Amino acid sequence: MKILIVDDERLARERLKDLLMAIDPGHQLLEADNGLLALAQVEQAGPDIVLLDIRMPVMDGLETAYHLSLLEKPPAIIFTTAYQDHAIRAFELQAVDYLMKPIRRERLESALQRSRLIKRATATALRAATDSPTPRSHLSASNYGKIELIPVAEIRYLKAEQKYVNAGWSGKESLIDESLKSLEQEFPDTFLRIHRNALIAPKFIQLLKKNKDGGFYLHLRDVADGLPVSRRHLHALRQVMARISHRWS
């Protein structure tokens, strides 16, 4: 089997490699020290199983698992952690195994056998299990079967378009399979609603303009066209703009 080991601690990766080779010298082993590198490895190498540490810098294991769940054929995931918390119980209920550090060979072998039975982790189960009160650092879009990561800090706007959300970021647009409402709830300090079908990042506000027809349009940095602002949300927008202007003055 092809197995990807993801852990920010080199010694932890080395121990897992030793255990895996002792179980089966035929294993093909890959490694990454954070979630971003892990996602790249999964796209390039297509491992059968990912041994995924939960607490890591750059992108933690919970967010990495969420992005992996968007793949058409996500790998089976075995979480590794030194911390017993409520999230781990959720993973167990969703039939995604986990290992407590220090990891024992017998426990690892059992998890691998379980993963062989599962073969591929169910995407919907992973999405449900990785719900977290901590906002993600990235959103993800599926682009021809590959994961396109979108840094939340670079997103200018989010617009609802039928069943999808269109994210405008760094001169690009990407379709996200999430609801505008769920994104608004996850990122209350990052995005502001200006219309029933649009959220914006206040830090990119450039100008609020009133058109001849009496409608208001908000212009954002690095975005060609203004976004319509509904009268219902106009007052809240002006309050935010006043606070931003006060900080700059």
pLDDT digits (tens, 9 = 90+) for 58-87: 898 888 988 888 887 888 899 998 877 745
Stretch among 25-29, 88-92, 134-138, 171-175 having the lowest mean pLDDT: 88-92
Give pLDDT, residue 58. 87
Which architecture, in CATH terms, is 2-129?
3-Layer(aba) Sandwich (3.40)
Average pLDDT over residues 118-143: 66
Indicate the domain borders of the chain: 2-129, 138-248
User: In 3D, which of 194, 138, 135 has the Cα closest to residue 169?
Assistant: 138
Read off the pLDDT of each residue in 167-187 and give the average, rounded to a whole number: 93
3-state DSSP call for residue 70? coil
- Measure CA of the first residue to CA of the last residue in the chain; give whole Å: 60
Q: State yes or no: pLDDT of 141 exceeds 50.
A: yes
216, β-bridge pairs: 210, 229
- Measured between alpha carbons, how far is 122 from 218 in angstroms, rounded to an integer? 41
pLDDT at residue number 95: 40
Claim: this prediction has a pTM higher than 0.85: no
What residues form DSSP beta bridges with 139? 150
CA distance 92 to 100: 12
Work out whether the CA dihedral 38, 43, 47, 48 comes out positive or negative: positive
Contact 66, 130 (CB under 8 A): yes
With a CB cutoff of 8 Å and minimum separation 6, the contacts of 206 are: 219, 220, 221
* CATH architecture assignment, domain 138-248: Beta Barrel (2.40)
The per-residue pLDDT for 81 is 87
Q: What is the pLDDT of residues 87-118, one digit of tens each?
A: 554 454 344 688 889 999 999 999 998 887 66
